[in-house]
Chains A and B, each alone.
Chain A
Amino acid sequence: KQEVTQIPAALSVPEGENLVLNCSFTDSAIYNLQWFRQDPGKGLTSLLLIQSSQREQTSGRLNASLDKSSGRSTLYIAASQPGDSATYLCAVRNSGDKLTFGTGTRLAVRP
């Protein structure tokens, strides 16, 4: 059974800092991995999707990497802004349709 863990659970940084969020998964036979953003009481916004054959994906100030063999992904956020404050979730897809989610990292960026 796939287990997804995210560390740290919460993070508070001053505006402008670069930061790294971590995601680990127990079953490395994944199809893909998605990073999502969730604002309080809101839905999930897809940020990046990395295929199992890829090592990284970039979108603006976000860069996600994937090391499938070690069961790890990182989300790098450059030059953080207060608007980046949210909960960041990673989710992996093994065979089948479902995504297995982590518990998330709650990020607060202080002005």
Chain B
Amino acid sequence: EPEVTQTPSHQVTQMGQEVILRCVPISNHLYFYWYRQILGQKVEFLVSFYNNEISEKSEIFDDQFSVERPDGSNFTLKIRSTKLEDSAMYFCASSLTSEWSNEQFFGPGTRLTVL
């Protein structure tokens, strides 16, 4: 069964460093998303991406964050200068369409630890 994959599973970085989290969405899906979950808190929406453009973003997704689809299979989230409060589990998701019936499928997550 097709699934969303994410690498790495765990990333440890120093405050102020840049990190890139990688995702491979389900191959025929057209819409891609990033969510995050700080330990003990709710899963929060960060950004959605379609046709090489951001279609929606949350207040969390400030200038320190960027997303890119560098080739036909990968979808990346970059954090330019990490802060302690960026420590969280980051989930990538994809969906076939953006129709109201669409189901989002999530990857296993990348645990980001900022020291």
Contact = CB atoms under 8 A, between A and B. Distances in A.
B109 interface: yes
A44 B106 contact: yes
Contacts, number: 60
A61 to B, nearest CB: 20
Interface residues of A, number: 25
Contact of B106 (A32, A46, A93, A97): A46
A43 B107 contact: yes
Interface string B65-109: 000000000000000000000000001000000101111111111
Interface residues of B, number: 26
Contact of B109 (A36, A42, A89, A98): A42
B44 interface: yes
Consensus secondary structure, chain A interface: strand
Interface string B21-45: 0000000000101010000011111
A95 to B, nearest CB: 9
A91 B56 CA distance: 17
Given A52-B100, A98-B48, A43 B42 contact: no
Interface of B: 6, 31, 33, 35, 41-45, 48, 55-56, 58, 91, 98, 100-109, 111
